[in-house]
Amino acid sequence: KTEAETVQIASTATETKETTTGESSVSSSLNKDRSDSESNENSAESDGGDDGDSKSELPVWLVNDFYNGGYCSPDSDSYTDEEAERKARLYRRNLHLSHGFLVEEGTGPKRCPSTGIDVIYLESLDDEHSPVKGMTELQYAQDMAKLSLREYNDSNETNVKFDHVVRVTRSNSSWTTSYITFMAKESDDTLVEYQAKVANKSTHKTTYPIYCRPSPKIEF
């Protein structure tokens, strides 16, 4: 079992939730890591230092910070290639309508350091790396979807069951935010598309679920 890094889940700034054993090989050592993390945090507070995040700045369950102001179409004069303009328009429109959950392959800016922050990319589920060291992209997405769904079930007194991940999109800035689309079975065994949004930071050992919901219908 890896001791490199594990994931903890906090549904609010004051209440920490953790993965259960068996969801991934990384999850089984969470109890130990939570104790270590809490001890380190208490020590940092007593020393007067922290990682720069106050509790009021931590992600909170059901508080969505996605900016969804009026849709702004790309300026046609900035494109000399019609296909590039079409992809840019499709990328922006999909992000606006889906609140970050839909990025079609081949659209959007190229992935490079100079692109800037808060650009949302489509991630490959075959990637061996994820926001958490020691977990593949698929493992991370599955664990985060299950944990967000558990919080959804607790809040709504339902028994929706995770089935499989559809796609993951992600933005990287001061916080790494993942937008996970997945299929889940409701009480009548009907497969329904759901969405989960989670955020984590390299200086934290905690991943915070922001919300989980059935995917809203998008009118294109």
- pLDDT at residue 23 tops 90: no
- For 66-91, b/e burial (b = at least 16 CB within 10 A) is beeeeeeebeeeeeeeeeebebbebb
pLDDT band at 158 (very low <50, low <70, confident <90, very high): very high
How large is the average pLDDT for residues 46-58? 49
Task: Pick the most confident of 19-33, 75-89, 106-120.
Answer: 75-89
In this structure, the strands spanning 8-10 and 176-185 are unpaired
Alpha helices in the chain (DSSP H): 30-46, 82-98, 137-156
> Who has greater pLDDT, 57 or 166?
166
For residue range 68-100, list pLDDT tens digits in order.
444 455 555 555 678 777 877 878 888 888 888
Specify the range with the lowest mean pLDDT, choosing from 58-67, 192-201, 207-216. 58-67
Token output for 154: 């607790």
Mean pLDDT across the chain, nearest whole number?
Answer: 72
If one looks up domain 59-220 in CATH, what number appears? 3.10.450.10
pLDDT band at 59 (very low <50, low <70, confident <90, very high): low
What confidence score (pLDDT) does residue 195 get?
A: 96
- pLDDT at residue 36 tops 90: no
- pLDDT at residue 201 tops 70: yes
